[in-house]
Amino acid sequence: MTAYGEFRSQYQGALEDSRLIFYGIRYILENYLHRRWTEDDVEKADMFFSTHLAPAAGTYRYPKDLFLKFIRENDGYFPVKLEALPEGSCIHAHVPVFQLTTQGDFAPLCTFMEVLLTMVWYPSAVATLSRRCRDRIEEAFDKSVETGRDSPLLGSRLHDFGFRGCTGVEQSVLGGVAHLINFDGSDTLSAAYYAQFVLNGGEPVASSIPATEHSVMTAWPSERAAIDNMIDQYGDGLFACVMDSFDYAKALGKVLPAVAQHKLDRGGYMILRPDSGDPTEAVLMALQAAEKVFGVDVNAKGYKVPRGCGVIQGDGIKYERLASMLEAVLEAGYSAEAVAFGMGGGLLQKVNRDTMSFATKLSHVVYEDGTPADIMKAPLNAISKSSLPGVLAVKRVDGVPTAFPADSGEVAPEENLLRTVYDCRPVQVNWDKFTQLRRRVNDEWHALPTQADVASASLKAKVKDCLAKLRKRQTD
Amino acid sequence: MTAYGEFRSQYQGALEDSRLIFYGIRYILENYLHRRWTEDDVEKADMFFSTHLAPAAGTYRYPKDLFLKFIRENDGYFPVKLEALPEGSCIHAHVPVFQLTTQGDFAPLCTFMEVLLTMVWYPSAVATLSRRCRDRIEEAFDKSVETGRDSPLLGSRLHDFGFRGCTGVEQSVLGGVAHLINFDGSDTLSAAYYAQFVLNGGEPVASSIPATEHSVMTAWPSERAAIDNMIDQYGDGLFACVMDSFDYAKALGKVLPAVAQHKLDRGGYMILRPDSGDPTEAVLMALQAAEKVFGVDVNAKGYKVPRGCGVIQGDGIKYERLASMLEAVLEAGYSAEAVAFGMGGGLLQKVNRDTMSFATKLSHVVYEDGTPADIMKAPLNAISKSSLPGVLAVKRVDGVPTAFPADSGEVAPEENLLRTVYDCRPVQVNWDKFTQLRRRVNDEWHALPTQADVASASLKAKVKDCLAKLRKRQTD
What CATH number does residue B30 fall under?
Answer: 3.20.140.10
Rounded to whole angstroms, the Cα distance separating B61 from B281 reads 60
Nearest CA in chain B to A53: B207
Nearest CA in chain A to B184: A53
Contact across the interface for B245 and A377, Cβ inside 8 Å: yes
Contact across the interface for B248 and A380, Cβ inside 8 Å: yes
Vertex A125, ends A121 and A127: CA angle to 5°? 125
- Same domain assignment for residues B113 and B223: no
B241, B271 in Cβ contact below 8 A?
Answer: yes
Q: Give the per-residue pLDDT at B56.
A: 47
Instruction: For residue range B24-43, list pLDDT tens digits in order.
Output: 999 999 999 999 999 999 99
Contact across the interface for B51 and A196, Cβ inside 8 Å: yes
* Number of other residues whose CB lies within 10 A of the CB of residue A30: 16
Chain B residues inside the 8 Å CB shell of A111: 215
* Number of other residues whose CB lies within 10 A of the CB of residue B467: 16
Last residue of a domain, one of B322, B348, B374: B348
* Number of other residues whose CB lies within 10 A of the CB of residue B356: 25
Instruction: For residue range B180-193, list pLDDT tens digits in order.
Output: 999 999 999 999 99
Q: Give the per-residue pLDDT at A216.
A: 87
Q: Give the per-residue pLDDT at B218.
A: 87
Instruction: For residue range B62-73, list pLDDT tens digits in order.
Output: 899 999 999 999
Last residue of a domain, one of B316, B348, B380: B348
Chain A residues inside the 8 Å CB shell of B48: 189, 192-193, 196-197
Rounded to whole angstroms, the Cα distance separating A81 from A101 reads 5
* Number of other residues whose CB lies within 10 A of the CB of residue B429: 15
Residue to mutate among B101, B213, B215, with most A CBs inside 10 A, is B215
Single-letter amino acid, residue B269: Y
- Same domain assignment for residues B188 and B202: yes
- The lowest-confidence range among A232-246, A461-475, B150-164 is A461-475
Rounded to whole angstroms, the Cα distance separating B109 from B119 reads 18
Distance from CA of A451 to the nearest CA of B (A): 26
Single-letter amino acid, residue A279: P
B218, A376 in Cβ contact below 8 A?
Answer: yes
Instruction: For residue range A117-163, list pLDDT tens digits in order.
Output: 999 999 999 999 999 999 999 999 999 999 999 999 999 999 999 99
* Number of other residues whose CB lies within 10 A of the CB of residue A265: 11
- Same domain assignment for residues B84 and B232: no
- Same domain assignment for residues B372 and B344: no
- Same domain assignment for residues A172 and A308: yes
Pick the residue with more confidence: A467 or A13? A467
B299, B146 in Cβ contact below 8 A?
Answer: yes
Whether the pLDDT of residue A474 is over 70: the answer is: no
Identify the band that residue A56 occupies on the pLDDT scale cut at 50, 70 and 90.
very low
Nearest CA in chain B to A120: B167
| CA of residue A84 relative to chain centroid, distance | 17
Identify the band that residue A57 occupies on the pLDDT scale cut at 50, 70 and 90.
low
Distance from CA of A397 to the nearest CA of B (A): 30
Instruction: For residue range B139-159, list pLDDT tens digits in order.
Output: 999 999 999 999 999 999 999
Chain B residues inside the 8 Å CB shell of A121: 165
Instruction: For residue range B181-231, list pLDDT tens digits in order.
Output: 999 999 999 999 999 999 999 999 999 999 999 988 988 989 999 999 999
How confident is the model over B357-383, as a mean pLDDT?
91
The domain of A174 spans: 124-348
- Nearest Cβ partner for A209 among B55, B114, B175: B55
CATH of the domain at A178: 3.20.20.70
Q: Give the per-residue pLDDT at A469.
A: 85
Distance from CA of B462 to the nearest CA of A (A): 16
- Mean residue pLDDT of chain B comes to 95
Contact across the interface for B224 and A476, Cβ inside 8 Å: yes
Q: Which 8-state DSSP code applies to residue A315?
A: S
Q: Which residues contact A351 (CB under 8 A, 6 or more apart)?
A: A122, A125, A126, A129
A-B contacts (CB, under 8 Å): 321
Query: Sign of the CA dihedral A315, A320, A326, A330?
Result: negative
pTM score above 0.95: yes
DSSP structure string for A119-165: TTHHHHHHHHHHHHHHHHHHHHHHHHSTTGGG-TTGGGSEEE--GGG
Vertex A387, ends A381 and A390: CA angle to 5°? 140
A43, with CB counted inside 10 A (0-12, 13-18, 19+), is exposed
Q: Give the per-residue pLDDT at B221.
A: 87
- Same domain assignment for residues B129 and B82: no
> Does residue B65 lie within any of the structural domains?
no
Q: Give the per-residue pLDDT at A384.
A: 81
Instruction: For residue range A304-347, list pLDDT tens digits in order.
Output: 999 999 999 999 999 999 999 999 999 999 999 999 999 999 99
Residue B419, CA distances (Å) to B91, B112, B395, B408, B423 in order: 15, 20, 11, 18, 11
Encode A371-408 in three state secondary structure: CEEECCCCCCCCHHHCCCCCCEEEEEECCEEEEEEHHH
Rounded to whole angstroms, the Cα distance separating B125 from B23 reads 9
* Number of other residues whose CB lies within 10 A of the CB of residue A203: 13
- Same domain assignment for residues B161 and B278: yes
Contact across the interface for A379 and B197, Cβ inside 8 Å: no
Rounded to whole angstroms, the Cα distance separating B350 from A343 reads 17
Rounded to whole angstroms, the Cα distance separating A319 from A335 reads 19
Distance from CA of B101 to the nearest CA of A (A): 14
Chain A residues inside the 8 Å CB shell of B269: 56
Rounded to whole angstroms, the Cα distance separating B255 from B231 reads 13
Whether the pLDDT of residue A51 is over 90: the answer is: no
Per the annotation, does A160 bind a ligand? no
Contact across the interface for A206 and B53, Cβ inside 8 Å: yes
Helix (H, G, I), strand (E, B) or coil at A83: strand
How confident is the model over B121-137, as a mean pLDDT?
98
Contact across the interface for A222 and B476, Cβ inside 8 Å: yes
Helix (H, G, I), strand (E, B) or coil at B82: strand
Q: Give the per-residue pLDDT at A476.
A: 61
- Same domain assignment for residues B299 and B372: no
How confident is the model over A56-71, as a mean pLDDT?
85
Contact across the interface for B163 and A115, Cβ inside 8 Å: yes
- Same domain assignment for residues A242 and A265: yes
Q: Which residues contact B227 (CB under 8 A, 6 or more apart)?
A: B241, B255, B259
Q: Give the per-residue pLDDT at A61.
A: 84
Q: Give the per-residue pLDDT at B475.
A: 61
Closest CA to B427 of B120, B139, B77: B77
- Same domain assignment for residues B88 and B206: no
Give the number of domains in chain B: 2
A354, A12 in Cβ contact below 8 A?
Answer: yes
Distance from CA of A399 to the nearest CA of B (A): 31
Terminal alpha carbon distance of chain B: 22
> Does residue B42 lie within any of the structural domains?
no
Whether the pLDDT of residue A111 is over 60: the answer is: yes
Chain B residues inside the 8 Å CB shell of A238: 54-57
Instruction: For residue range A348-399, list pLDDT tens digits in order.
Output: 999 999 999 999 999 999 999 999 999 998 888 777 888 999 999 999 999 9
Whether the pLDDT of residue A177 is over 90: the answer is: yes
How confident is the model over B108-128, as a mean pLDDT?
96
> Does residue B201 lie within any of the structural domains?
yes
Rounded to whole angstroms, the Cα distance separating A349 from A151 reads 29
Percent of chain A with pLDDT over 70: 98
| CA of residue B404 relative to chain centroid, distance | 26
Pairing of strands B158-160, B339-343: parallel
Distance from CA of A398 to the nearest CA of B (A): 33
Vertex B159, ends B299 and B13: CA angle to 5°? 95
- Mean residue pLDDT of chain A comes to 95
Contact across the interface for A353 and B350, Cβ inside 8 Å: no
Chain B residues inside the 8 Å CB shell of A56: 236-238, 268-269
Chain B residues inside the 8 Å CB shell of A165: 121, 352-353
- Nearest Cβ partner for A237 among B57, B197, B238: B57
Vertex A447, ends A446 and A450: CA angle to 5°? 75
Percent of chain B with pLDDT over 90: 88
> Using CA atoms in the order A441, A447, A449, A452, what is the torsion angle rounded to 10 degrees?
-70
> Does residue A87 lie within any of the structural domains?
yes
Whether the pLDDT of residue B107 is over 50: the answer is: yes
Chain B residues inside the 8 Å CB shell of A224: 474-476
Chain A residues inside the 8 Å CB shell of B201: none
- Same domain assignment for residues B136 and B256: yes
B375, A219 in Cβ contact below 8 A?
Answer: yes
Residue B188, CA distances (Å) to A3, A145, A423, B165, B322 in order: 21, 50, 27, 10, 20
Sheet of A372-374: strand order equals A372-374, A358-366, A2-7, A96-101, A81-84, A419-423
Instruction: For residue range B331-355, list pLDDT tens digits in order.
Output: 999 999 999 999 999 999 999 999 9
Nearest CA in chain A to B175: A167
> Does residue A152 lie within any of the structural domains?
yes
Helix (H, G, I), strand (E, B) or coil at A430: coil
> Does residue A8 lie within any of the structural domains?
yes
Rounded to whole angstroms, the Cα distance separating A148 from A167 reads 37
Q: Which residues contact A370 (CB under 8 A, 6 or more apart)?
A: none
- Same domain assignment for residues B194 and B277: yes
- Nearest Cβ partner for B223 among A51, A268, A475: A475
Single-letter amino acid, residue B364: H
> Does residue A62 lie within any of the structural domains?
no
Longest CA–CA separation in chain A, Å? 85
Nearest CA in chain A to B358: A165
Contact across the interface for B167 and A184, Cβ inside 8 Å: no
Nearest CA in chain B to A267: B56
Rounded to whole angstroms, the Cα distance separating B325 from B327 reads 5
Last residue of a domain, one of A292, A313, A348: A348
> Does residue B312 lie within any of the structural domains?
yes
